Structure 1
Amino acid sequence: MKVASLINDLQYNESRPAIQVLMETETGKEIRIAFKEGQLMKEHKTPFPIVVEIFEGAIEFGVNGTIHHLKKGDLVALEGGIPHDLKALEISTVRLSLNKADSAKRVEDVAKNS
């Protein structure tokens, strides 16, 4: 059994979203992305399907140029290869579920380059 928390030890980065791998299992990775208001992750693609949960706050989630307003409790499933971006409308915590074959470093690089 593995246990992780989306709320414990929550830390924000002043200049970009803060990425933390919470858990890795045989099938996937669970990542927490902590946004301050206005922070963004520029348009990018993932090679594998993802699931995004808005755990706290509100996010503009852009997919192929269309903006979707997501709020606390919303879930999004997205196939690989689809361009998307995120912008925090307020302080927000996002849970990202990655395929085991995907890389947390890729997510960190997106945040660093946004």
Structure 2
Amino acid sequence: MNTASLVENITYLENKPAITVLLKTKTSKEIRIVMKKGQTMKEHKAPYPIVIELFEGSIDFGVEGEKKSLKKGDLIALDENVPHDLTCTSDCIIRLSLSNYDSVERVNNVNN
């Protein structure tokens, strides 16, 4: 059994989103992304399907050029290779579920 917390040991970075691997299972990695208002993740694609849960705060989530406002409790699932971007509109905590075939380094490099 693995356990983790989305709300413990949170550190907001001044210049970019903070990305932390919380859990690994046989099939997925559960990642926490914390962002301050105004921070962004530029358009990118995931090579495998992903699920995003907005645990706290709000973001504007762009999918193939269309913006959707997400608020606390919202979930969104994307198939592989779908272009998307994020703009944080209030300090937020995001849970990202990645395939184990995907890499955390890819997520860390989105804004680099």
- Identify the residue that residue 67 of structure 2 maps to in structure 1: 67
Point out the structure with the larger strand share. 2
- Structure 1: runs of 5+ lacking an equivalent: none
Distance 2:11 2:71 in 1: 20
Q: 2 CA distance for matches of 1:59 and 1:53?
A: 11
| CA distance, structure 2, for counterparts of residue 7 and residue 24 of structure 1 | 17
Q: How many residues align?
A: 112
Percentage identity across paired residues of the two chains = 54
CA distance in 1 between partners of 2:3 and 2:52 (Å): 19
Deviation at 1:46, TM superposition (A): 0.4
TM superposition score normalised by structure 1: 0.97
- The runs of 4+ residues in structure 1 deviating greater than 3 Å are none
Shift in Å, 1:64? 0.4
Q: Deviations over 1:67-86 (max 9, x none)?
A: 00000000000001000000
Stretches of structure 2 that go unaligned for 5 or more consecutive residues are none
After superposition, give the CA deviation of every residue in 1:11-70 in whole Å (9 maximum; x if it has no partner).
Answer: 111000000000111110000000000000000000000000000000100000000000
- In the superposition, the TM-score normalised over structure 2's length comes to 0.98
